[in-house]
């Protein structure tokens, strides 16, 4: 459970037209922090220059710049330029490590043009003080890219990680270790290593259609080595290719062992500077630092500029270790808490997608129920402790009453405003598109179980499918805010009063979009109504991915302006794992419609596979902590 936040100063390092050597692009940078100075090494490209064959080629060199605040860089100059035959067509994508007082700058060396696999290898430049390069060597005698040196010796040995056979996929990540510094460029040693390379490779690809490359130099953590790397989905299909940033956790003593990993990309191209440039739709991680409890990720945007993002280190590591994840968000031990009851026709087939409200010390769970006639109505179960069911009514408390909902009242959400409980739900007549409906009941009648619901009113347009609605439980300067889902995105609209016989919604103020390539890539919709805390308004929402699975995430909105999205979780909080979430009317679904907050604990109620009702808990402080990584450094000027 974590949030990745891009720097507000992105792109940080831009090309300078007046500097011919970096006039076209400055990207894929790698940092080193020395005391109060940030040293950065980056790939710099000149504007395309004509060649004898009539083609135009941009030459790459390794540039250098330093900064005190991480925003303004000075002393920009080329540090590693082509000099040797094995690098005469470019020096690309540096990774820097400081070890034993020396700076080791590994880079990709290009010896042939047109570029081909035999001319793409790894080289290293070594510097004592960064004023100049003291020596350089061709490292690998075979096709490879993106080498990084571990920042300390492991079992007394120099250890590197790099991309093997990157230009003749399938590429793998490789580990090599050497007794002495000069062994790093000893080709006899490398020839011996290459004959046994399968013993030294790791393959984090999720399918044969994916591609991987080393990103940043590994970072030492209490749990192991953290490796930020590039995971490219659908690599062989240009129109479906997705560049993602992911992370591996490697064993401290044997980095060939993967002990943890992110379940998907933590970052994909979203911003303009990542989607448009020399090569569009690329985020490529090339460096990382741990500062102030956060991992700063240095990456290239669209092969044009240098950018930065960050994620809380503890949150990221916790998400990669299953035993810690299960400690943070805990499913009820007695899940599923509600099953269909064959003896009652109205709920004999499926019970799911529950709303929830805490009144007088009891959690009231209003769940969607379906019988053999496939018509949805709303049932009620009550729990004193929020986990175990103490009472469940034998009759529904809300059934279809109007022609526009004759086929069902679905997926209710509840909020209480001024001693009145408002229930929004999806109304369906079996013919037209589903629409948002609303009804209300006094708190007094609800407690007394006098189901005097007001006449339902339709809120949304008859021409567009609109679902997943609720009211923000606090009036804003613009009126009462109503969340809803139009198409694949979460929208909002405002109404002046709560008189829904007159009020309608006709706008779609976009709040949250699907993120192509992420866990919520196809569709997003609200789950439980948002609640206000010290961090702002937290909205639990469901996201649908390419596998059509429904997962749960969270979004933070500004406390004073709930239309202002602050951050969104980069990974789901909860996803289908158990049979009751994976097998049912619709498989692989976790779909909450309600939550309650008690003594710092959030109780989340959700439908599993559109068949049963289940629950989970998470501490409010753990949820808030996910959003606790906003840019607060002195290097992030307002």
612-621 pLDDT tens trace: 999 999 999 9
Of 52 and 632, more confident: 52
Number of C-beta neighbours around residue 182 at 10 A = 11
Average pLDDT over residues 301-316: 96
pLDDT (tens digit per residue) in 162-181: 999 888 888 899 999 999 99
pLDDT at 52: 66
* pLDDT over 60 (residue 511): yes
CB 637 within 8 A of CB 70: no
Share of the chain above pLDDT 70, in %: 98
What average pLDDT does range 284-313 have in this prediction? 96
Q: Rounded to whole angstroms, how far apart are CA atoms 560 and 564?
A: 9
**Residue 216 reports pLDDT greater than 90:** yes
Per-residue pLDDT, 325: 77
Q: What does the pLDDT read at residue 48?
A: 86
pLDDT of residue 629: 56
Specify whether the backbone of 89 is left (phi greater than 0), alpha (psi in -120 to 50) or beta: alpha
- Given a cut of 90, whether residue 487 has pLDDT beyond it is no
Please, which pLDDT band fits residue 458 given cuts at 50, 70 and 90?
A: very high
pLDDT tens digits, 269-283: 999 999 999 999 999
Per-residue confidence (pLDDT) for residue 345, from 0 to 100: 97
Could you tell me which residue, 638 or 348, shows the higher pLDDT? 348
Q: Is the pLDDT of residue 627 over 80?
A: yes
* pLDDT tens for each residue of 194-208: 999 999 999 999 999
Of the candidates 309, 319, 151, 146, the one whose C-alpha atom is nearest the C-alpha of residue 223 is 319
Q: Is pLDDT of 218 > 70?
A: yes
The predicted pLDDT at position 506 comes to: 81
Residue 593 CA to residue 410 CA, distance in Å, equals 10
Task: Note the pLDDT of residue 437.
Answer: 96
**Residue 604 pLDDT > 80, yes or no?**
yes
**559-587 average pLDDT score:** 95
Could you report the per-residue pLDDT of 101-158, keeping only the tens digit for each?
A: 999 999 999 999 888 999 999 999 999 999 999 999 999 999 999 999 999 999 999 9
Please say whether the beta carbons of 324 and 313 come within 8 A. Answer: no
Whether 569 shows a pLDDT value over 80: the answer reads yes
Q: How far apart are CA 468 and CA 462, in angstroms?
A: 16
Q: What is the 3-state secondary structure (H, E, C) of 28-92?
A: EEEEEEECCEEEEEEEEECCCEECCCCCEECCEEEEEEEECCCCCEEEEEEEECCCCHHHCCCEE
The pTM of the full predicted model, rounded to 2 decimals, is: 0.92
At 630 the pLDDT is 52
Residue 190 has pLDDT above 90, yes or no: yes
Kindly state the DSSP code that residue 157 receives in the 8-state scheme. B
- 348 or 170, greater pLDDT: 348
Average pLDDT over the chain, rounded to whole?
94
Q: If you compute the radius of gyration of the chain from its CA atoms, what whole number of angstroms results?
A: 28
Query: Which domains does the chain show, CATH number per domain?
Result: 4-321 (2.115.10.20), 339-626 (2.115.10.20)
pLDDT confidence band for 53 (50 / 70 / 90) = low
């Amino acid at each position: 459970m974590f949030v990745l936040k891009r720097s507000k100063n992105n792109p940080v390092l831009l090309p300078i037209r007046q500097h011919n050597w970096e006039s076209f692009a400055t990207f894929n940078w790698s940092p080193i922090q020395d005391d109060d100075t940030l040293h950065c090494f980056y790939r710099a490209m000149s504007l395309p220059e004509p060649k004898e064959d009539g083609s135009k080629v941009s030459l790459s060199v390794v540039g250098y710049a330093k900064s005190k605040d991480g925003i303004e860089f000075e002393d920009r100059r080329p540090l590693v330029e082509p000099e040797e035959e094995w690098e005469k067509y470019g020096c690309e994508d540096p990774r820097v490590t400081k070890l034993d007082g020396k700076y080791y700058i590994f880079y990709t060396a290009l010896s042939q043009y047109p570029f081909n696999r035999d001319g793409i290898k790894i080289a290293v430049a070594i510097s004592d003080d960064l004023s100049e390069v003291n020596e350089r060597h061709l490292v690998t005698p075979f096709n490879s890219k993106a080498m990084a040196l571990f920042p300390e010796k492991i079992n007394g040995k120099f250890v590197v990680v790099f991309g093997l056979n990157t230009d003749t996929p399938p590429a793998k990540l490789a580990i090599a270790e050497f007794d002495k510094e000069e062994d790093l460029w000893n080709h006899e040693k490398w020839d011996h290593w290459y004959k046994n390379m399968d013993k030294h490779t790791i393959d984090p690809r999720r399918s044969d259609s994916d591609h991987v490359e080393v990103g940043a130099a590994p970072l030492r953590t209490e749990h192991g080595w953290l490796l930020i790397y590039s995971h490219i989905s659908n690599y062989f299909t240009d129109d479906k290719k997705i560049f993602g940033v992911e992370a591996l956790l490697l064993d401290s003593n044997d980095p060939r062992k993967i002990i943890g990993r992110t379940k998907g990309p933590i970052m994909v191209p979203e911003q303009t500077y990542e989607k448009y440039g020399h090569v569009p739709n690329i985020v490529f991680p090339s460096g990382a630092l741990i500062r102030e409890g956060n991992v700063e990720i240095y990456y290239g945007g669209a092969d044009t500029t240098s950018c930065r993002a960050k994620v809380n280190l503890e949150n990221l590591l916790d998400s990669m270790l299953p035993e810690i994840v299960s400690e943070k968000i805990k499913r009820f031990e007695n899940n599923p808490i509600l099953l269909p009851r064959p003896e009652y026709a109205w709920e004999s087939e499926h019970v799911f997608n529950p709303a929830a409200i805490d009144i007088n010390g009891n959690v009231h769970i209003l769940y969607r129920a379906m019988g053999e006639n496939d018509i949805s109505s709303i049932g009620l179960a009550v729990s004193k402790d929020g986990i175990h069911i103490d009472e469940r009514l034998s009759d529904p408390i809300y059934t279809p009453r109007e022609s526009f909902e004759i086929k069902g009242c679905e997926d209710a959400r509840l909020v209480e405003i001024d001693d009145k409980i408002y229930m929004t739900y999806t109304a369906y007549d079996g013919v037209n598109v589903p629409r948002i409906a609303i009804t209300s009941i006094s708190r007094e009648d609800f407690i007394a179980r006098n189901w005097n619901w007001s006449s339902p009113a339709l809120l949304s347009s008859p021409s567009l499918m609109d679902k997943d609605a609720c009211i923000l439980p606090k009036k804003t300067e613009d009126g009462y805010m109503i969340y809803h889902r139009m198409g694949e995105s979460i929208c909002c609209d405002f109404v002046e009063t709560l008189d829904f016989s007159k009020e309608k919604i006709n706008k779609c103020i976009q709040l949250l979009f699907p993120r192509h390539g992420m866990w919520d890539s196809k569709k997003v919709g609200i789950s439980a109504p948002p609640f206000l805390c010290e961090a702002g308004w937290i909205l639990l929402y469901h996201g649908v991915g390419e596998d059509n699975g429904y997962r749960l995430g969270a979004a933070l909105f500004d406390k004073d302006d709930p239309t202002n999205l602050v951050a969104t979780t980069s990974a789901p909080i909860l996803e289908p794992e158990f049979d009751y979430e994976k097998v049912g009317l619709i498989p692989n679904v976790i779909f909450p419609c309600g939550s309650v907050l008690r003594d710092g604990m959030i109780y989340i109620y959700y439908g599993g596979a559109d068949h049963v009702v289940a629950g989970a808990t998470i501490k409010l402080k753990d949820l808030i902590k996910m959003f606790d990584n906003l840019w607060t450094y002195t290097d992030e000027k307002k």
